[in-house]
Amino acid sequence: MINREYKDRLFSFIFGSPERKDWTLSLYNAVNGSSYTNPEDIKIITIDDVLYMSMKNDLALLVTDIANMYEQQSTYNPNMPVRKLMYAARLYDKYIHMNKLNIYSTKQVRLPVPKLVTFYNGKEDKDDRILELKDAFKTEDGQQVDAESDIQVRVRMININYGKNKELMRACKPLEEYAWFIEEIRRNNKSMEIEAAVDKALDAMPEDFKLKQLLIANKAEVRQMCITEYNEAETMAQFKEEGREEGREEGKEENALTMLRDNLALDKVALYSGVPMFRILELQKTLR
């Protein structure tokens, strides 16, 4: 159903490689309105999904004293603040150990400032917005809890569909080309299978696009990454629909077990099945 050999999204393949730090720096400058010129100012610190609850952020990087956590999403997800909170905790744990910081000392440790960004390019028309953790603190009937949270998390969501945020796109040419490529695949996919849609988009890509040489040179991998992402989106929609039809806790857990058997990341299993994480971990043990 989903090919797990290619775990990277195309977005992280393009912007998360040490060999293409100039593109990563271009993205950073575009998002932050900065003008850094030395790609070596960037340190990529993305954590592999095998290290923490099968979670994987698409791209994390340090620039001076800023820890940037980027993720591309083809489905709108209001739960990004809690996902980013969990990822940030693991990232800071890694940072503290790598830099041998003593958090039990009477001296204040110095940590990089977190900047959390989600690049949205789903089919639903969504405006740029700020997603906040406080929106998750609600009662069972959906009312906001009348208590001030001691934990605050804000995630900036930016729509990167082709034609959106034109100033941002002009500031980062590889991002604009990536947006064009995804839009072209979607247009092609209306009349042909996804494999052919990807190939046709590659063939139609203008010769002066910076991405073209990279994508053509890695055509098989690029095709598989796109197919995997599209299949995953379709699979998630199917799981959601099955969950709605079942309408029972047993049905939710059965869906969760199916996703676990397909090696889907644990946070996504919890998100799409509606089963709490502690129960997901229990169900995972039954499959070993």
83-123 per-position pLDDT tens digit: 899 889 988 998 899 899 999 999 999 999 999 999 999 88
pLDDT of residue 270: 82
CA gap 160, 75 in Å, rounded: 12
pLDDT of residue 267: 78
Closest CA to 243 of 281, 207, 269: 269
> Are 16 and 24 contacting, i.e. CB atoms less than 8 angstroms apart?
yes
pLDDT of residue 286: 85
CA gap 260, 252 in Å, rounded: 12
pLDDT of residue 260: 87
pLDDT of residue 203: 95
> Are 77 and 84 contacting, i.e. CB atoms less than 8 angstroms apart?
no
> Are 23 and 14 contacting, i.e. CB atoms less than 8 angstroms apart?
yes
Q: Collect the ranges in the chain with pLDDT lower than 50.
A: 1-7, 49-56, 246-248
Pairing of strands 129-132, 42-44: unpaired
Give me the amino acid identity at 222. Answer: V
Give me the amino acid identity at 174. Answer: P
pLDDT of residue 63: 78
Look at the block and give the residue holding tokens 């890509």.
Answer: 205
